[in-house]
Structure 1
């Protein structure tokens, strides 16, 4: 079977890829959301930095334990055997982002407000 060279090839590369993408995501998304809710200022950004480590752990767990397995089961139902790399990656990315957006909208508000509502 053809092995795709554009994807992580082993567990070490997969972990590095996951760390890089999750750190970028958490460090951009959380401050933007906080800024839009409370205004953009240095104080708000510094307050956000206190929450980022918790959100980073939550993102990693959600990707590995929820989104990854769920998307892994859904993609084969929509992607045909003759679909190419780009089509599969696009579908996988779209589904991962959708699942994580839904979950993090709920969980992120819990973490940010420090209460489950």
Structure 2
């Protein structure tokens, strides 16, 4: 399975109708975040080799902290990565709500936003 397969699956879910649309919306939000997480590993950890900037928190916090590594000689790249960090943290918060806050309604619009944002983040990660 490729990272792109996850994003493609999100778009497929968006295009389909489900009798349990509220659950499908949650799955879309969750998978969209995970696409960006996998892309972060691929581009920031593996390709660029940026280091974790924190050793506190779970694997996601530590992985995303690589976007805050300031060892690059390119100040623009450092700023862009920090902005991507914030955007990914926001997607992670939405994913957490979708996965654990079952009393909250996750709308189709929220799911659509997450997929589009994930796609943009993926492109920007690949361009760092």
- Specify the structure having the higher radius of gyration (Cα): 1
Which TM-score applies when normalising by structure 1? 0.37
More helix as a share of residues: 1
Q: Which protein, 1 or 2, shows the higher relative CO under an 8 Å CA cutoff with sep ≥ 6?
A: 2
